[in-house]
Amino acid sequence: MKVDSQEQAFANLTPDVLLDAVESTGVSCSGQMLALNSYENRVYQIGLDEGAPLVAKFYRPNRWSDQAILEEHRFTIELAEQEIPVIAPIIDKDGNTLLYHQGNRFTLYPCKGGRAPELDDPNHLLQLGRFIARIHLRGSTCGFEHRPSIDLDSFLHQPSSFLLENDFIPAHLVTAYETLLADLNERIEGCYARAGPFKTIRLHGDCHPGNILWRDEGPRIVDFDDARMGPAIQDLWMFLSGDRAYMSERAADLLEGYSQFYDFNPAELHLMEALRTMRLVHYAGWLARRWYDPAFPKAFPWFDTMAFWEEHILTLREQLAKMDEPPIAW
């Protein structure tokens, strides 16, 4: 695979280069650094000689344009100005949030800690619902110009085509996978048809429990890197899993809090399993697109094995049945 100059700079992001980049902003690093859990980008906690540590996020090339990254930054700053507990990028003395060093693009954030939310705790779900609703209330005031929407093309057709065209699907499973994709497309389109018209708003886009830092005073919502346009349910369904009765109970708490700040369209519940299905396909496609990066085979050794693809196809078949069921009650 041909690697361009930006990809090469990203691949050569050594500790020295990283610390030089952070110090180019005028701070003095102590030399302490900790790699944080991120594979799409490179994210590190950086100790300083004076003051609290910072988080430095170095962006993978050829994913988002500068305009798209800045649009994400403006959105999170806008939310922070409304006292919504998100972690917004640090603005330097020249008013910049997106910085450059030796071919890499990076952003600095304040370092904040926390734990995962307890999704069995109704109070946690109530608070999550309230804060996500406040994000959506602000997100509904205008749209993104440089970021795409969550749709069948980008979350189903493109990733599945990449998997097939690059021979990630084992040969004896290709026919089954192609047939399954046609059925999935039909069911997903049916879910969208049953949901009817819905409002498309600016979203977090990847609002799962790992992107929530919980403290005694409540949650902090982090990592808007996947912010897109889409239906409100996209930022809610990842907190709902398990059997129907369990999901319905959790949804009641989550949406009770949500409805205090923003009107939820119950027809969007028809989209839950469709969006879950699309995410499964998109995730597999994302791993395949990044398989050239040595970090990925090391971190995901089970991917690109026969067992993974057999399990993946079985899970997608289970999703077919779920998309034929009525939505959870609310």
pLDDT greater than 90 at residue 4: no
Amino acid at position 328, single letter: I
Write down the catalytic residue from 183, 206, 226, 293: 206
pLDDT of residue 253: 97
For the stretch 9-63, pLDDT in tens is 898 899 999 999 999 999 999 999 999 989 999 999 999 999 999 999 999 999 9
d(CA 270, CA 100): 43
- Answer yes or no: 183 catalytic: no
Write down the catalytic residue from 16, 94, 153, 223: 223
d(CA 312, CA 330): 30
pLDDT of residue 264: 97
pLDDT greater than 70 at residue 2: no
d(CA 322, CA 317): 9
50: buried, middle or exposed (CB in 10 Å: 19+, 13-18, 0-12)? exposed
- Answer yes or no: 94 catalytic: no
Chain mean pLDDT for the chain: 95
pLDDT greater than 90 at residue 6: no
What is the DSSP track for 223-239?
A: --TT--EE-GGGGTGGG
pLDDT of residue 271: 98
Mean pLDDT of 307-323: 97
DSSP state of 110: E
Length of the chain: 330
d(CA 23, CA 50): 13
